[in-house]
């Protein structure tokens, strides 16, 4: 298996622009997580899907952030409009079932909002 695949690896955009991050989880994994990592706050859970359904989105910072999982093999995290404080590394991870199973992380998307 290729592991969790994220794209793009790097994204540089200007404030106000829409940003879409993509994730393909490992086949057969029922749970998908979006995390954000910053120097100040470390790793934070943004949203958790189980069987394509959002279960916990309490970590989504504000309405500018939205996430979808239209099927078991694809998820997107969208920021619209983007702001400089959104600059961070965004990780997608998947597991067979929830956070009580081993997590497999994608390589992350380094987002810079100028």
CB of 56 to another protein, least distance (A): 5
Straight-line distance from the first to the last Cα atom of the chain, in angstroms, rounded to the nearest whole number: 36
Interaction of residue 30 with another protein, rule CB under 8 A? no
Interaction of residue 94 with another protein, rule CB under 8 A? no
Query: Which of 34, 48, 65, 90 contacts another protein by CB under 8 A?
Result: 48
DSSP E strands in 2-105: the ranges are 5-7, 10-13, 19-24, 31-38, 42-50, 53-56, 65-71, 74-79, 88-95, 104-105
Query: Which of 56, 68, 72, 76 contacts another protein by CB under 8 A?
Result: 56
Contact (CB, 8 A) for 74 and 6 = no
Interaction of residue 20 with another protein, rule CB under 8 A? no
Interface contacts to another protein, rule CB under 8 A: 31, 33, 42-45, 48, 50, 55-56, 59, 89, 91, 93, 97-105, 107-108, 110
């Amino acid at each position: 298996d290729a592991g969790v695949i994220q794209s793009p690896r790097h994204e540089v955009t200007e404030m106000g622009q829409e940003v879409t991050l993509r994730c393909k989880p490992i086949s057969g994994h029922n749970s998908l997580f979006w995390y954000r990592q910053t120097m100040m706050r470390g790793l934070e859970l943004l949203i958790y899907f189980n069987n394509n359904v959002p279960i916990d989105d309490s970590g989504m910072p504000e309405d500018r952030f939205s996430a979808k999982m239209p099927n078991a093999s694809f998820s997107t995290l969208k920021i619209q409009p983007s702001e400089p404080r959104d600059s961070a590394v965004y990780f997608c991870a998947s597991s067979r079932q929830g956070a009580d199973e081993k997590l497999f992380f994608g390589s992350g998307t380094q987002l810079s909002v100028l």
